[in-house]
Structure 1
């Protein structure tokens, strides 16, 4: 049986891989508009695994390279504004455009820096997509998957929305790792900050955490 520490480390890697996926996906933009959401997740997950395994610096958690990859490709398959807004909660509606921009920047940096260190756990893992129960008319769907390798499988599920217009048809807006939804987890943390210090206080807190993480991880 995989130990709890190992499972948590692999869970951190699973989120890291998803973040890196936002950069990798731009290599095949012509496919995604017509792809079913489960096939999209399968392809992207496989590409991410292969990319991490082949790139020693990403696998070692090179923050600059990971951040550059994410930033350069502008997260083509993630609705990060929706993800951030959901994590911030009702206070998002009162935030100014400048505050919203800062929140997205700091939240993205927090996620990348928090989980990047787990990428060195990538070895022989593979992605298995569970049977998809969505229909062609759905606007939002759940894609369930498992990361399989040594030890127990890691649950990694995605909530996606169908986006109108040209380009990518589906975008991720939430992740479930081992039964815990990422957005809801951060919403609880952020609500406490906002209650005591407001939006600017949350921005300052995220910036401080990112600065601390940068110093810790180099």
Structure 2
């Protein structure tokens, strides 16, 4: 199971926390939103020693307060599950979203402790005013190594929301689709929920392998 959840939240954390040189922009535009949130989150990390030390409670509070308002994690989870989403009850859907979010936070909380002054370069943003689904592209330079980091957003009545992240050419949603599908095929929706819950318990107790 060690390789099952290797990718995403590191990308999310780096995406939102590496904006050392990002300038605050117009939150009503996709690129402005991403740049502004990166700056706000980085400032909070620098000011909070508990987050820097890996305190999972403070990290979860940071994600809930500063990141989740600008993401649609339910949409992310629904796309990861594909047609299996509709076979889950509303309560199962709610629990899977919450356990998946917690799993990503727990798995990659250590990345926050490493956030310092990575440089981020935003690629020119190109989109038509009528577009409702866009990609904001960037490159993060970490210890001299460039990391491709892109964000997929869609327009909602409440503004733009991030729902997918691409790191080094691998999109979060695509990375998890097969893994979730296999769990459901073998054990059903309840089996997927049980697996996510047990994995979180292992991570919380330090027994994950």
Provide the residue aligned with 2:109 in structure 1: 116
Cα offsets for 1:3-35 (capped at 9, x unmatched)? xxxxx99x86442255779xxxxxx9xx63xx2
Contact 2:139 2:148 (8 Å CA) reproduced: yes
Contact 2:37 2:67 (8 Å CA) reproduced: no
- Report the TM-score, using the length of structure 2 for normalisation: 0.85
- Report the TM-score, using the length of structure 1 for normalisation: 0.82
Any unmatched runs of 5+ in structure 2?
Answer: 1-5, 19-23
Corresponding residue SS for 1:187: helix
Contact 2:14 2:115 (8 Å CA) reproduced: no
Q: How does 1:207-218 map to 2 (within 5 A)?
A: 207-216=197-206
In structure 1, distance between residues paired with 2:150 and 2:14: 13
Q: How does 1:5-20 map to 2 (within 5 A)?
A: 13-18=10-15
Q: Does 1:161 align with 2:154?
A: yes
Contact 1:38 1:143 (8 Å CA) reproduced: yes
Corresponding residue SS for 2:126: coil
Contact 1:161 1:173 (8 Å CA) reproduced: yes
More helix by share: 1
* Residues 169-178 or 70-79, more deviating: 70-79
RMSD: 2.5
Contact 1:42 1:127 (8 Å CA) reproduced: no
Corresponding residue SS for 1:61: coil
In structure 2, distance between residues paired with 1:214 and 1:48: 24
Any unmatched runs of 5+ in structure 1?
Answer: 1-7, 22-27
Distance 1:125 1:73, change over 3 A: closer
* Residues 129-138 or 64-73, more deviating: 64-73
Cα offsets for 1:63-91 (capped at 9, x unmatched)? 01111233456821111110010111211
In structure 2, distance between residues paired with 1:217 and 1:147: 32
**After the TM superposition, which parts of structure 1 deviate over 6 Å for at least 4 consecutive aligned residues?**
none
How many residue pairs get aligned? The number is 197
In structure 2, distance between residues paired with 1:90 and 1:215: 33
